[in-house]
Amino acid sequence: MGKFSYVLKNTLVNMRRTPLLVFATIIAVLISSFLVFTTLSARSIVQNNTLRWQNGIHVVVFLDDRVTTTAHKQLQTSLESYPEVRTVDYFSKPEAEEEFKNLFRDQPELLAEVDYEILPASLRVNLNDPSNYELITERLEGNPAVKEIRSSGEAIERLLSLTDTLVISASAFALLIGFAAFILIINTLRLAAYSKKKEIKIMRLIGASSTYIRLPFIIEAVIESLIGTSIAVGFGWALIEYSKSSVVADSIFDITISDDYLIFLTISLLMSSIIFGLFASFVGIRKALND
């Protein structure tokens, strides 16, 4: 118990001697961990939405009201004959009105101003391979029964590309900030070790082991790393919970991410922060203790 008290006391003393460096280290670890947590969470959310899109409606064909219903039915039959098409569902004007009211049920002012006659009937197309949405769009261009064609495929592809770019950029920035935190920990521990040089020599003379001498420095590095990562993870969880009730989540983007994934990500980051602290402490005090 006495040895543990000594180690803990010296850890706290070391941290009090360089409070600004300790604070800077925690902030650097926090930023790095937060970037990793949020970018990996965002990628998981995008992947979930991509899977939902792949199993949902890929092309929406809005029909021109100026042509007959027979023309609409002929277009539906033509679409169903395409080998790329899995199913085609007709969505009437009353159904479009009901869908609009359901989507904007929380905005009564908007619902009161809308002229529902302008809402067109549509064909909802589900493809065997979602990447074939461009083929369908090209075939329907110029058809007199078609008013407008919309596909989420291009938006999804852009979103995936943007997400990959974001993950790479954020990861590179996180590594840069993490390296800064690594340097800060090394400098903090070296300052602490050199300030206690005489004490360390005395401990060696009375037979203290290298591990016992190193422990306060190791624990300091691990504590700084864990504090920064824990705060970052807390901010990350809070951001996700807030996003679930945001305008984006209520409209077109489903902010869904499993708790199991978040727990796994949290544990992975905390374990990585421990390893990070151990490695930084080893590098930081090796030279100081060998002098």
- pLDDT digits 0-9 by tens, 248-273: 444 445 666 778 888 898 999 899 88
Contact between 216 and 10 (Cβ < 8 Å): yes
The verdict on 261 and 136 lying in the same domain is: no
**What distance in Å separates the CA atoms of residue 154 and residue 133, rounded to the nearest whole number?**
9
Q: Residue 250 has what pLDDT?
A: 46
- pLDDT digits 0-9 by tens, 181-211: 888 877 777 777 776 677 767 767 777 666 6
- Confidence category of residue 11, pLDDT binned at 50, 70, 90: confident
The verdict on 83 and 13 lying in the same domain is: no
Mean pLDDT, residues 52-63: 71
Tokens matching residue 162: 């943007």
The verdict on 22 and 87 lying in the same domain is: no
The verdict on 175 and 92 lying in the same domain is: no
The verdict on 25 and 65 lying in the same domain is: no
The verdict on 267 and 132 lying in the same domain is: no
Q: Give me the CATH number covering residue 97.
A: 3.30.70.3040
The verdict on 145 and 177 lying in the same domain is: no
The verdict on 283 and 163 lying in the same domain is: yes
Q: Residue 233 has what pLDDT?
A: 92
Mean pLDDT, residues 226-236: 91
Domain finish residue from 101, 133, 151: 151
What is the residue-averaged pLDDT of the chain? 78
Domain finish residue from 151, 174, 195: 151
Domain finish residue from 135, 151, 167: 151
The verdict on 141 and 193 lying in the same domain is: no
DSSP per residue over the chain, as a string?
Answer: -HHHHHHHHHHHHHHHHSHHHHHHHHHHHHHHHHHHHHHHHHHHHHHHHHHHHHTS--EEEEEPTTS-HHHHHHHHHHHHTSTTEEEEEEE-HHHHHHHHHHHTTT-HHHHHH--GGGPPPEEEEEESSGGGHHHHHHHHTT-TTEEEEEESHHHHHHHHHHHHHHHHHHHHHHHHHHHHHHHHHHHHHHHHHHHTHHHHHHHHHTT--HHHHHHHHHHHHHHHHHHHHHHHHHHHHHHHHHHHTSHHHHTT------HHHHHHHHHHHHHHHHHHHHHHHHHHHHHHHH-
The verdict on 139 and 274 lying in the same domain is: no
Mean pLDDT, residues 17-40: 84
Mean pLDDT, residues 109-130: 79
Domain limits for position 142: 58-151
The verdict on 139 and 17 lying in the same domain is: no
Which of the two residues, 126 and 53, has the higher pLDDT score?
126
Q: Work out how many domains the chain is built from and give that number.
A: 2
Which of the two residues, 160 and 28, has the higher pLDDT score?
28
The verdict on 169 and 286 lying in the same domain is: yes
- Confidence category of residue 234, pLDDT binned at 50, 70, 90: very high
